[in-house]
Amino acid sequence: MLKQISSMIFSTRNRNPWPLETDAFTLLEVLLAIVISVGMFFVVLVFYRQTAEVRTMAVREADRISAIRLVMQRMTAELQTVQGHSTQGASFSGDSNSLEFVRTTLPDQGDWLGGELGRMPAPRTDLLKVRYRGGGTNAAALYRGEEPLVTERNSEEALATLELIDEQQGRMPPVLSHEIRFVRFRFREGKDWRDTCASNILPIAIEITLGNEKLPDNLEMDAYPYEFFRRVILLPAGLAARSESVESNANEVDLLLQELEAI
């Protein structure tokens, strides 16, 4: 009996009074958990940064493409209303980096109301003289300016409202887009594409090439190495002028359409 009691007391003393201590984490386990948590945090952070950079690049590219699309649409609408004849001199001229033409437009609604005593504050017309110019060697932006096709303006105040001063390139029209840094125009006269329009007759089409990157100094325009956007715009006034003056070139439009379909 005494042996049983003593054995029970001995077993009770050796029993662990804190049974939860055997389930606690060791210092090594805690450190391992911290290292794993920090590693996962950095992985998530790197993934987030990469996602943010991709999103920024996508938004940037969308803005650049949108700028070119808007310019193309605007130039298309304006060139399709080019006038073939003008009482103020040449109505159309251009080279590989600039374009100047006369187009028709609807007068502003305020022109119909008149100013004080029903008089117009300045001459108004439905003809506009539009100028486009690329950035040239600076490749800074695409410039665009317009003015009513009326008598010559010689006052400095009038010129200041129509043009900007550029120290390296002289007088420049206002900036249309800073996203466009490469501009090239080509003109379809007869069966060939030319870099200049020297004829008194309007071309039948204009090829417009726009890019977002500057052309390297050691390359020609034909070797532009970056992504570009191109559109060929038919000029109704040019087609009408050539059909009246050059009967032998009646198939010029058909040849041009065949070339475009083959692209």
Structure tokens at 226: 């970056």
In a domain, 241, yes or no: yes
pLDDT of residue 164: 42
In a domain, 12, yes or no: no
Q: In degrees, to the nearest 5, what angle opens at C-alpha 196 toward C-alphas 191 and 201?
A: 65
Neighbours of 8 (CB within 10 A): 10
Q: What is the pLDDT of residues 112-158, one digit of tens each?
A: 565 555 555 556 677 888 889 887 655 578 888 888 876 554 444 44
Structure tokens at 39: 């590693």
Please tell me whether residue 10 adopts helix, strand or coil conformation.
Answer: helix
In a domain, 4, yes or no: no
Phi-psi group of 204: left, alpha or beta (phi > 0 → left; psi -120 to 50 → alpha; rest → beta) = alpha
In a domain, 239, yes or no: yes
Cα separation, 173 vs 78, whole angstroms: 17
- DSSP lists the bridge partners of residue 103 as 82, 128
pTM comes to 0.67
In a domain, 97, yes or no: yes
In a domain, 33, yes or no: no
pLDDT of residue 1: 55
In a domain, 31, yes or no: no
In a domain, 52, yes or no: no
Please give the tally of structural domains in the chain: 1
Furthest C-alpha separation in the chain: 137
Q: What is the pLDDT of residues 221-240, one digit of tens each?
A: 888 999 899 999 988 888 77
Cα separation, 183 vs 181, whole angstroms: 7
The domain of 200 spans 59-110+122-262
- DSSP lists the bridge partners of residue 185 as 208
Structure tokens at 65: 């493409």
Q: Which helix (H) or strand (E) holds 206?
A: strand 205-211
